[in-house]
């Protein structure tokens, strides 16, 4: 399932959430984030690359993550992102919202 | 992999250009694609296939790059803006803090700036209000003042016009759209608080509609409604005495016993010729006063594009025609037409020019002083700036850093200057440096937004020119070179010479100012101490105006005068008392006076005419030079005699004895009055005016007729009160009231007050320039001190070497002092040269002094050199205390 760019803000918020969560594991470059999400969702979820980078830059502008240039594991110049304290706060808030939302939806869907 | 320090985004330096931004994004995306391609290769694709597959999987690469760049650039711009604001704030705060830490020098400099900006504000306000302001009347460029041409040797530029001429112009002048006249008048107003004297005017023609000034209340009167006895009030009078009531229309006014009805109130600012605005009430000229001989001030409106010179010719012809018709013996010399603007400038010109010159020079000196201060500050901080530059501050950043400091400085000075300017205006209003005749009141000079704007722009412009620009130039250095050399050490040759040049210029300006101050001071002293022709000490004067209604005949007036003098002379402490129709230093009526044996057709003989009591010359202690003064024998029905003054005798009776010659008081009559004496000249009209030829008539002998009301109705009383036991005002009023309860007395002044009033303008000018000169002197001394101190610092090594080689401390002291005096010497020379160059324009302001007087020039020069020597002492002293080894070693 590829998340299309023209989907709703909900989807956009979801992408942000996933990225933030991913970065709690430590600083990572854009490709790494994408790879990890795909692995974690067992291939179910593949972020559209364009959307990923839009999201990363957007999050950076909002100071939820910050970036710096570094050297990747194969000695290439790469831009690394790290989550900020504000980002962690946002993550926890949005994450609990998402859980509530999901529970509510599931509650309805699982009826009968 | 850790991110390094946490760099706050807003403070990132250097800024990223668009190219940088795009490069970063490209790198990031390329990295992504490369990683994906690698993965795909691992899964078995060929490198090329992996690459194109990676590209395909990405999605729209171009679009992404575009939108990411756009977003990043926008973010960058926002950051820069915020950083700029933040930097402005930071620099301003820092500038404030550094001023706070070292307030001494800063306070001096700010004070100096404030004073000079304040002075400029005051002067500009005066010039604006008194000269530049557009007159608040309809189409002011077409309104002119018309007068008779005065005799060729008279000092004034125009005279009043005969009513007959005015009427002729009204009827037949084609180049005028309207003409009207007015005459000063004093009335006894029986108001709610009892009778009092008020000044006013009487009008012929439609004066107010002609000017087109909008009435505050009601309407102006025209010739048509003179029968209904209308009166118009001035704005100030209406406000002060009637509390600006709107129901004042229709009120009745008792003026000199006649009832008038108020029809309107003039606007606050009528912009009328300066002489006008002090009048409280205006009425149409009464029938009894409408004689062809009556003299009026005339105002007219030019028709179309008529030129004043051409108009003057036409009016002159019409005037001649009327004079021929009426058989007037003495013809006017012609007509003068002046625009209102010219008149305005001529009246206040000299004082304003002085103020302006003084303020400008002060501003210049202050700015150069503060400017050099800024430059010095910048030089000290070059090292710091160099370090900043090497850390990546862009040149704009540095420029802003330098500019911010200067602008903070100048803004404080400017703001204080505005406040001082407002205070200064209040002070000027209190001092009233202009004569009451010259301008209505300084109320029209106000403090408004335009003034603030002017002050702000002056501060900004001078701040940029003298503060920011030099500071920037001083801070332009190669980073590496400066960081290597130690401290804020040597300065470049050029900037050094620049500063020397500035100091020399300051000394020159100060010298010019000091010289001018000395000259003006001398003028002022000369004016006040010249031979006045009368003894102003122990003299008390006051005035009465006898209204025509109560005193219709000269006989009646004479009766009053005798009774008054008898009453006054009986007062304790009065040594002598007399009356005259014209006080010394006051205005005097001037007219043509045929003199026996002189043909006055080419060169008219004219003189000031005064009616004096027989005891007058004795009371004012005017010396009799030839013949005698009036005596008890000069009674009403005795032989009519007159006395003339020196100037009259010299001018019209040269080569023969004045005593025994004859003259007459009116152009028609043959010279039948015998001159019995010649007295000392007395100044009239003003201290700086020349003596006028004058004729004195004994009050007892004024004949009934038109001249009688002119000479007999104004009684100015002079009393000699030798022992400071002057009768109180109340006592005087009682005595007058006892004779006529409806007659108020006005304007009690001592002789010395009369003199002071006359000298006010000159004294004010002298005082202003003296103040400015003192300030300029102090500033130049400071500037000189600063330059010398720097000089000594720079040459400390050289001096150390000299000392080690055997030069004594004394020699070095002399050397430094010598430098100081030499510098000042150059400045003084330039300053004196400037004064010599401007001597002619300066002459106009002086009295009894030539502009090139060697004593004044020499004195000022000496003063400057002494000041320079004193300023050099400080730095020179420091040289003496130099330790040679330290000096040589220290770098």
> Which pLDDT value is given to residue B277?
59
Does the distance separating the beta carbons of B57 and A76 come in below 8 Å? Answer: no
> Which pLDDT value is given to residue B444?
58
Rounded to the nearest 5°, which phi and psi values hold at B29?
-70, -40
Helices (H), B17-60: 18-42, 47-58
Residues of A with Cβ-Cβ distance to B58 under 8 angstroms: 49-50
Residue B859 CA to its chain's centroid (Å):
27
Does the distance separating the beta carbons of B28 and A79 come in below 8 Å? Answer: yes
Does the distance separating the beta carbons of A61 and B75 come in below 8 Å? Answer: yes
Does the distance separating the beta carbons of A53 and B68 come in below 8 Å? Answer: yes
> Which pLDDT value is given to residue A57?
93
Residue B206 to residue B211: CA distance in whole angstroms:
9
Does the distance separating the beta carbons of B32 and A30 come in below 8 Å? Answer: yes
CA distances, B10 to each of B14, B78, B760 (Å): 11, 9, 64
B273: number of Cβ within 10 Å:
20
> Which pLDDT value is given to residue B70?
92
Residues of B with Cβ-Cβ distance to A80 under 8 angstroms: 1, 3
Report chain B (891 residues): mean pLDDT per 10 consecutive residues.
39 69 90 90 88 87 91 88 82 77 74 84 80 75 85 75 87 88 81 80 85 79 75 83 83 84 80 62 79 81 85 87 74 80 73 81 82 73 73 69 77 87 82 60 66 82 79 60 45 65 82 84 78 82 80 87 91 89 82 76 78 90 89 83 90 84 79 88 80 90 76 86 76 85 78 80 79 80 76 75 78 82 88 85 77 82 85 78 67 50
Contact B180, B205 (CB under 8 A): yes
> Which pLDDT value is given to residue B489?
42
Residue B659 to residue B696: CA distance in whole angstroms:
13
User: Across-strand partners of B545?
Assistant: B714
> Which pLDDT value is given to residue B493?
59
ipTM: 0.88
Closest residue in B to A79 (Cα–Cα): B28
Does the distance separating the beta carbons of A66 and B75 come in below 8 Å? Answer: no
Rounded to a whole number of angstroms, the distance from the CA of A3 to the nearest CA of chain B is 12
Rounded to a whole number of angstroms, the distance from the CA of A28 to the nearest CA of chain B is 9
Residue B820 to residue B797: CA distance in whole angstroms:
19
- What does the buried/exposed string (b/e) look like for B624-654 if buried means 16 or more CB atoms within 10 Å of the residue's CB? eebbbbbeeebeeeeebbbbbbbbbbbbbbe
Say yes or no: B85 contacts chain A, CB-CB below 8 A. no
Does the distance separating the beta carbons of A48 and B59 come in below 8 Å? Answer: yes
Rounded to a whole number of angstroms, the distance from the CA of A92 to the nearest CA of chain B is 23
Rounded to a whole number of angstroms, the distance from the CA of A102 to the nearest CA of chain B is 29
> Which pLDDT value is given to residue B271?
62
Q: Which two tokens stand for residue B207?
A: 């004066």
Say yes or no: B70 contacts chain A, CB-CB below 8 A. no
**Is the peptide bond between B14 and the residue preceding it cis, with omega within 30 degrees of 0?**
yes
Does the distance separating the beta carbons of B1 and A76 come in below 8 Å? Answer: no
> Which pLDDT value is given to residue B186?
76
Say yes or no: A88 contacts chain B, CB-CB below 8 A. no
Model pLDDT for residues A31-58, shown as the tens digit of each residue: 999 988 888 887 777 678 888 999 999 9
Does the distance separating the beta carbons of A70 and B9 come in below 8 Å? Answer: no
Residues of B with Cβ-Cβ distance to A77 under 8 angstroms: 27, 31
Residue B850 to residue A9: CA distance in whole angstroms:
91
Does the distance separating the beta carbons of B32 and A31 come in below 8 Å? Answer: yes
Say yes or no: A94 contacts chain B, CB-CB below 8 A. no
Question: Which residue has 């209505």 as its token pair?
Answer: B440
Closest residue in A to B33 (Cα–Cα): A31
Does the distance separating the beta carbons of B24 and A79 come in below 8 Å? Answer: yes
Nearest to B31 among A35, A61, A78 (CB): A78
Model pLDDT for residues A1-34, shown as the tens digit of each residue: 444 444 456 667 788 999 999 999 999 999 999 9
Question: Which residue has 């009207």 as its token pair?
Answer: B180
- What does the buried/exposed string (b/e) look like for B572-610 if buried means 16 or more CB atoms within 10 Å of the residue's CB? eebebbbbbbbbbbbebbbbbbbbbebebeeebbbbbbb
> Which pLDDT value is given to residue B10?
39
CB pairs A-B closer than 8 Å: 68
């Amino acid at each position: 399932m590829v998340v299309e760019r023209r989907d709703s803000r909900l989807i956009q918020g979801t992408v942000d959430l996933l990225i933030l969560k991913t970065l709690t594991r430590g600083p990572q470059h854009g490709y790494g984030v994408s790879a990890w999400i795909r692995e974690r969702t067992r291939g179910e979820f593949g972020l559209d690359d364009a959307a990923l980078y839009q999201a990363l830059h957007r999050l950076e502008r909002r100071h939820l993550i910050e970036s710096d240039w570094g050297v990747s594991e194969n000695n290439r110049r790469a831009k690394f992102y790290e989550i900020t304290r504000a980002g962690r706060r946002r993550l926890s808030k949005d994450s609990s919202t998402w859980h509530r939302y999901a529970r509510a939806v599931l509650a309805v869907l699982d009826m009968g | 992999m850790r991110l390094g320090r946490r760099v706050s985004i807003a403070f990132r330096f250097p800024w990223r250009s668009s190219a940088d931004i795009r490069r970063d994004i490209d790198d990031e995306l390329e990295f992504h694609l490369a990683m994906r391609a690698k993965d795909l290769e691992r899964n078995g694709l060929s490198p090329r296939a992996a690459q194109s597959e990676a590209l395909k999987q990405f999605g729209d690469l171009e679009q992404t790059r575009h939108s990411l760049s756009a977003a990043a650039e926008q973010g960058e711009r926002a950051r820069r803006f915020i950083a700029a604001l933040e930097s402005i704030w930071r620099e301003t705060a820092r500038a404030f803090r550094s001023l706070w830490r070292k307030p001494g020098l800063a306070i001096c400099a700010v004070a100096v700036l404030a004073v000079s900006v304040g002075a400029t504000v005051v002067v500009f306000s005066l010039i604006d209000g008194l000269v530049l302001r557009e007159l608040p009347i309809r189409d002011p460029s077409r309104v002119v003042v018309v007068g008779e041409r005065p005799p060729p040797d008279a000092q004034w530029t125009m005279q009043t016009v005969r009513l007959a001429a005015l009427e002729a112009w009204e009827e037949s002048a084609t180049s005028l759209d309207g003409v009207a006249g007015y005459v000063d008048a004093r009335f006894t107003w029986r108001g709610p608080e009892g009778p009092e004297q008020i000044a006013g005017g009487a009008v012929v023609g439609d004066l107010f509609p002609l000017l087109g000034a909008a009435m505050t209340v009601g309407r102006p009167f025209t010739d048509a409604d003179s029968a209904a006895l209308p009166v118009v009030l001035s704005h100030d009078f209406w406000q002060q005495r009637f509390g600006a009531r709107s129901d004042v229309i229709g009120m009745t006014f008792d003026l000199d016993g006649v009832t008038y009805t108020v029809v309107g109130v003039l606007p606050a600012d009528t912009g009328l010729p300066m002489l006008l605005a002090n009048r409280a009430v205006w009425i149409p000229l009464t029938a009894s006063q409408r004689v062809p001989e009556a003299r009026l001030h005339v105002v007219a409106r030019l028709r179309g594009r008529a030129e004043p010179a051409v108009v003057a010719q036409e009016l002159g012809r019409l005037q001649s025609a009327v004079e021929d018709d009426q058989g007037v013996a003495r013809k006017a010399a012609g007509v003068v037409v002046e625009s209102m603007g010219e008149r305005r400038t001529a009246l206040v010109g000299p004082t304003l020019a002085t103020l302006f010159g003084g303020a400008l020079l002060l501003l210049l000196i202050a700015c150069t002083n503060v400017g050099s201060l800024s430059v010095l500050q910048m030089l000290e901080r070059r090292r710091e700036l160099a370090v900043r530059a090497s850390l990546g501050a862009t040149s704009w950043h540095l420029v802003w850093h330098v500019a911010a400091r200067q602008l903070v400085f100048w803004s404080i000075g400017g703001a204080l200057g505005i406040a001082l300017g407002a205070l200064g205006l209040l002070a000027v209003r209190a001092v009233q440096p202009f004569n009451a005749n010259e301008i209505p009141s300084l109320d029209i000079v106000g403090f408004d937004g335009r003034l603030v704007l002017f002050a702000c722009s002056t501060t900004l412009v001078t701040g940029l020119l003298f503060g920011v620009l030099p500071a920037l130039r001083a801070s332009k250095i190669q980073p590496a070179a400066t960081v290597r050399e130690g401290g804020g050490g040597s300065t470049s040759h050029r900037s050094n010479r620049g500063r020397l040049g500035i100091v020399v210029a300051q000394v020159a300006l100060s010298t010019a100012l000091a010289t001018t101050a000395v000259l003006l001071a001398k003028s002022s002293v000369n004016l006040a101490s010249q031979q006045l022709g009368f003894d102003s000490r122990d003299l008390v004067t006051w005035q009465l105006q006898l209204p025509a209604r109560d005193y219709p005949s000269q006989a009646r007036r004479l009766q009053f005068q005798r009774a008054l003098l008898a009453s006054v002379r009986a007062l304790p402490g009065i040594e002598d008392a007399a009356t005259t129709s014209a006080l010394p230093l006051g205005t005097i009526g001037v007219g043509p006076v045929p003199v026996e044996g002189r043909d006055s057709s080419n060169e008219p003989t004219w003189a000031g005419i005064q009616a004096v009591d027989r005891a007058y010359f004795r009371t004012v202690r005017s010396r009799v030079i030839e013949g005698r003064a009036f005596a008890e024998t000069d009674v009403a029905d005795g032989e009519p005699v007159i006395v003339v003054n020196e100037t009259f005798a010299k001018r019209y009776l040269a080569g023969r004895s004045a005593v025994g010659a004859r003259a007459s008081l009116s152009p028609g009559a043959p010279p039948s009055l015998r001159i019995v004496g010649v007295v000392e000249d007395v100044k009239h009209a003003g201290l700086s005016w020349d003596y006028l030829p004058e004729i004195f008539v004994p009050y007892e002998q004024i004949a009934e007729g038109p001249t009688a009301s002119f000479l007999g109705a104004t009684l100015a009383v002079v009393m000699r009160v030798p022992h400071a036991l002057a009768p109180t005002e109340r006592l005087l009023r009682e005595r007058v009231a006892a004779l006529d309860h409806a007659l108020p007395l006005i304007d009690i002044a001592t002789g010395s007050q009369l003199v002071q009033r006359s000298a006010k303008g000159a004294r004010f000018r002298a005082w202003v320039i003296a103040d400015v000169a003192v300030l300029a002197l102090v500033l130049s001394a400071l500037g000189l001190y600063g330059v010398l101190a720097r000089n000594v610092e720079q040459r400390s090594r050289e001096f150390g070497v000299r000392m080690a080689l055997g030069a004594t401390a004394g020699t070095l002291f002399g050397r430094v002092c010598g430098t100081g005096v030499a510098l000042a010497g150059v400045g003084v020379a330039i300053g004196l040269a400037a004064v010599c160059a401007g001597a002619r324009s300066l002459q106009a302001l002086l009295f009894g002094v030539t502009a090139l007087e060697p004593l004044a020039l020499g004195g000022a020069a000496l003063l400057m050199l002494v000041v320079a020597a004193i300023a050099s002492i400080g730095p020179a002293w420091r040289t003496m205390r130099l330790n040679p080894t330290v000096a040589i070693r220290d770098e």
